[in-house]
A and B are shown apart, each in its own frame.
Chain A
Amino acid sequence: MKFNTIIIGGGLSGLTAGITLAEQGQRVAILATGQSRLHFTSGSLELLGYNPDGSVVTAPLQECESLPASHPYQVIGTQALRQFAPHAQELLAAAGIKVRGNAEANHYRISPLGIPKPAWLTLDDYITADSQLSFPFRRVLLVSIAGYIDFPIALLRHGLQQCGLECNVAEVRTPAIENLRTSQTEMRATNIARILSEQAAIDQLSVEINRAISGEEAILIPAVIGIADDNNLKYLRRMVTRPLFCVSTLPPAVTGVRLQTRLRKRFLNLGGTFMLGSTVRKANFSADRIASVTASNLPDQKLSADNFILATGSFMGNGLVATQDSIIEPIMNLDVDATQGRDSWTSPRLNDPQPYMEFGVHTDSSLHPAINGHIVPNLWAIGAVLSGHNPISLADSTGVDMITALFAANDIISHNI
């Protein structure tokens, strides 16, 4: 099988690159293992949430300028960041994902514990606050689903109160959801979302919510509706008597699954090939260029392409592997930026920035990785596998995913014209 570009990894960065290339008419394959960090996300994307000194970023585009030179935004140049940030929003819109926000100014999302965190883009149906942390309402009804324990309602309520909201709690039960309860582990977000994909189940829910409403100005519900699309969520919003917004839950994130589903659909509609369950074990080189890769589920096939993109993620995606004494990139043994000695990988205090978070593949300014110092000219590394960024202390992960993906895809296109 021969493609223009093969992308290793089917998460946010891989899909973003795949869509961009397919939009330009390329023949693209994405080889994905299945799990994605999107399944553990909120309903928001982040470009840059905090400065290296820990202060909150209000103007991400501006404040990116003072990031260290090793940060991916600096590696590709902040001019590229300004160029591609609006593209990211357009790409999401084209996939049917409606978001609010912009790269000029952060707003706040609300965490499952009710803690406000700076965000770049947030799904249209989520609760957000502006940069001054003010909401368009004061009194809210917080709806919980009886027995659904991945929505930490007592903690969330406290957090929302700290944000200045008056918060009443209503616990609702509906016959459709009660059915789930017969199994001990079924009350999870994605399972509830499956039940709530029936319009009749939404009808039941809206009746209960409307019954619970008294003087509140808005309704907040856990984000457990809409695993494939947001049609039923829109329907529920029409059926209830107050404006309704979602709050993110503990994983699995229904919205993250939806995001991935919408992006994958968009990629497939553009003619892309998405191969699930394909863990790439090995790359085959011809001189300094990659000629093909071999995947676990197609051991006899050499999957060839002109260009390759590495979007395998960090440690949790197995894009990086830590042995007892070293950090490696497992497919091609690419050069990585990491410190020597296990002691230096982590900080003793959990909440201090952890050095291992910044470990990753070292690239040149075009995102080409190297092997023993020799650049691989037809390989680009994007997203979490890159070194120099920190999804926790800087809150930059989804931004790095999308911006580096757009950069690499455009670089490929400009060289292939």
Chain B
Amino acid sequence: MSNPRNNNSFHVIVIGGGITGTGVARDCALRGLKVLLIERYDITHGATGRNHGLMHSGARYAVSDPANAAECMAENLILRRIARHCVEETDGLFISLPGDDLNYQHRFADACVGAGINAEIISTREAIALEPAVNPNLIGAVRVPDAAIDPFRLTLANVLDAEAHGATILTHHAVTRILTSGSATVGVVATDENGNRAEFHAPVIVNAAGIWGQHIAQLAGVTLNMFPARGALLIFGHRVNNMVINRCRKPSNGDILVPDDIVCVLGTTSDRVPLTEIDNTHVTNHEVDLLLSEGVKLVPRLASTRILRAYAGIRPLVAADSAATGRDISRGIVCIDHALRDGLEGFITITGGKMMTYRLMAQQATDLVCKKLGSKARCTTADTPLPGSEPGPETNEEDELLQPVSFAHRAAEGRHGSRIDMIHDERPEQRALVCECEHVSTAEVDYAISQLRASSLARLRRRTRLGMGTCQGKMCACRAAAMMAQRDGKPEQHIADLNTFLSERWKGIRPVAWGATLSEAQLSALTYQALCGTNLISSPTPSTLPQNEV
């Protein structure tokens, strides 16, 4: 294996900063390859940041796709080990409601057991005792090892480990050309938001761009037919359930409610959208009403719970047939060696699959990369904990009683795992809360700015949850913007960023703007627009956005 010649040469270029791409970058870096990852926006911008945060047991696919279900379960067990700081072990219920077919429940439970998923039919009384939020009229329940997982945290951990092993992560750069020589790809041209171009070279390119993978394949001159299946979700203002609650029936709209930190997430819809619509994440009133009417059947209390926002992502399914919704398309992993399929050497596409199986997807893609490069390095990701999930010293409860830590410290520990030691909150002012909803302290914001390159409010939100809670950034956004301006001396950029952040939050609030959500939106407008004058700030030009991070 040759050594790349210069700063612009790598062994492998990975395109896409979602969970799949960052997983591939990490695996490649752990195997000693010199890696460049290129992402058009920020990490988790696509489907990775726009899903349920559900750590499937595989049960949902047990009936329709047992092989995929077994794969999910195996990966589920691995993630509990290597990414424990990203996982909340909630367990899940599949409930049957009046009118549902209880025969399906038995078929479902049998299929789960067949796929190695520890599913257990329990009494309705036991289900209500385990999860008081569940619809009390349920007629059946199956307990499964579902869990909640934080996609932002998981992706960030992969980035941190990839970087720790020498990988270069280049965000806010779009791949605008794929360079070929003869019948092989040899590199890419990446363009930043100001139109500046740079060339990067590598003998192998991995297309991990999710739904945008079709476009990337096109740039390489090969055909990849994706099936854009849009899924809309709702976030509620507090956590009404402690277990994942699924409907025990053929997968349909609004039939999963996942607890997520202090909130909960209801989803999803599934509609095929044209490829021209994949950048449109606007949620319609129809989708909101549909989700809500189904969600209240799972958990009646949702009818009176404030909805914080609505969002949508596009599942990167690979087109298999002319199905209308995408529900029937396999969630199996698709790893394409374009040398075999299209005679294009050096180009690999990794797609399909699920967030749950990202590690396995990365392993398969990296195996292929290594084969092409003649490397015999073996995959270690199933056994190597991610940064934050390394085994730490056992906490001594007595010590904690003697030296109580703040709630924000605990919250930060939950978010950053064993990296908590890098967050310095020894002095009282470092413990001051910037975001009260999610308990993000000044110290944690400082850590995210200095160690996680949180150079904008959106980047800070993805790295700390700041602004994700009940108030949706009402107070914390301005505080954090001022802190960033204080640190980097670029107030003009951060005032514009504040306006951008609030405008972006509004997109998700607007489809659910009634009741308390509309009242809160009005209060937010009175604070930011009437009092502060953020509506008078001109929109940022690309030159003020966070730039090249090489």
Q: How far does the alpha carbon of A152 sit from the alpha carbon of B479 in the complex, in Å?
A: 6
Q: Out of A42, A324, A350, A354, which one reaches B503, CB within 8 Å?
A: A350
Q: Is B495 an interface residue (CB 8 A)?
A: yes
Q: Is the interface of A mostly helix, strand, loop or mixed?
A: loop
> By the criterion CB–CB under 8 Å, are A149 and B442 in contact?
yes
A residues near B379, Cβ cutoff 8 Å? none
Chain B, 225-263, CB within 8 A of any chain A CB: none
Closest B residue to A146 using CB positions: B429
CA distance A350 to B530 in the complex (A): 13
Count residues on chain A whose CB falls below 8 Å from chain B CBs. Answer: 53
Instruction: Say whether B32 faces chain A, with CB atoms less than 8 Å apart.
Output: no
Complex interface: chain A residues within 8 A of B486 (CB): 153-154
Question: Does B432 contact A157, Cβ atoms closer than 8 Å?
Answer: no
Pairwise interchain contact A37-B434, C-beta atoms closer than 8 A: no
Interface of B is mostly: helix
CB-based contact B429/A152 at 8 Å: no
Chain B residue numbers with a CB within 8 Å of A415 are none
Q: Contact at A392–B525, with CB atoms within 8 Å?
A: yes
Given contacts A147-B428, A351-B499, 18 further A-B contacts (CB under 8 A): A40-B526, A113-B495, A149-B479, A150-B479, A152-B478, A154-B494, A155-B478, A184-B406, A250-B475, A315-B522, A322-B515, A324-B289, A324-B514, A342-B514, A349-B506, A350-B502, A350-B506, A392-B526
CA distance in complex: A356, B513 (Å) = 10
Nearest-CB distance from A87 to chain B (Å)? 24
Contact of A149 among B434, B495, B515, B526 (CB under 8 A): B434
**Interface readout for A344-357 with B: 1 if CB under 8 Å, 0 if not?**
01101111001011
A313-343 interface bits toward B, Cβ cutoff 8 Å, 1 = contact, 0 = none: 0111010011111000000000000000011
Least Cβ–Cβ distance between A254 and chain B, in angstroms: 13
- Smallest CB–CB gap between B525 and chain A, Å? 6
Contacts A155-B491, A251-B527; A315 near B519 (Cβ below 8 A) = yes
B481 at the interface (CB under 8 A from A): yes
* Interface residue? B535 (CB, 8 A): yes
Whether A147 touches B479, Cβ cut-off 8 Å, given contacts A157-B491, A315-B522, is: no
Kindly state whether residue A237 has any CB partner on chain B within 8 Å: no
**Does A248 touch B at the CB level, under 8 Å?**
yes
Instruction: Evaluate whether A111 and B533 lie within 8 angstroms (CB atoms) in the complex, with A40-B526, A155-B482, A316-B526 already known.
Output: yes
Contact of B532 among A115, A325, A391 (CB under 8 A): A115
B523 contacts chain A at the CB level, 8 A cutoff: yes
What are the residues of chain A within 8 A of B282 when measuring CB–CB? 348
A286 within 8 Å of B (CB atoms): no
Set of chain B residues within 8 Å of A154, measured between Cβ atoms? 482-483, 485-486, 491, 494
Alpha-carbon distance between A15 and B531 when the two chains are bound, in angstroms: 21
Q: Does B436 contact A (CB under 8 A)?
A: yes
**Contact for A323 among B428, B429, B433, B515, CB less than 8 A:** B515
Distance of B404 from chain A, by nearest CB (Å): 13
Q: Which residues of B contact A (CB under 8 A)?
A: 282, 285, 289, 406-408, 428-429, 431-434, 436, 441-442, 475, 478-479, 481-483, 485-486, 491-492, 494-495, 498-499, 502-503, 506-507, 510, 513-515, 518-520, 522-523, 525-527, 529-537
Cα–Cα distance between A254 and B486 once the two chains are bound (Å): 25
Which of A112, A315, A323, A324 lies in contact with B531, CB distance below 8 A? A112
Residue of chain B at shortest CB distance from A352? B535
Which of B406, B428, B441, B530 counts the most chain A CB atoms within 10 A? B530
B289 touches A250 (CB 8 A): no
With both chains docked as a complex, state the minimum distance between the C-beta of A288 and any C-beta of chain B, in angstroms: 31
Contact A147 B518, CB 8 Å, known A37-B526, A391-B526, A397-B530:
no
- Alpha-carbon gap, A346 to B513, bound state (A): 8
CB distance from A284 to the nearest CB of B (A): 27
Q: How far is the CB of B502 from chain A (nearest CB, A)?
A: 6
Q: Please name all residues of chain A whose beta carbon is closer than 8 Å to the beta carbon of B436 when the two chains form the complex.
A: 185
Nearest-CB distance from B359 to chain A (Å)? 37
Give the most central of A41, A250, A395: most B CB within 10 Å. Answer: A250
**Inter-subunit contact A322/B518 (CB<8 Å):** yes
The reply to whether A250 and B429 form a contact with Cβ atoms under 8 Å apart is no
Instruction: Give bound CA distance, A325 to B479, whole Å.
Output: 35
The reply on A117 being an interface residue by CB < 8 A is: yes
Q: List 15 A-B contacts (CB under 8 A).
A: A40-B523, A111-B531, A113-B478, A113-B532, A113-B533, A149-B434, A150-B475, A184-B408, A251-B531, A253-B531, A342-B514, A346-B513, A350-B503, A356-B522, A392-B526
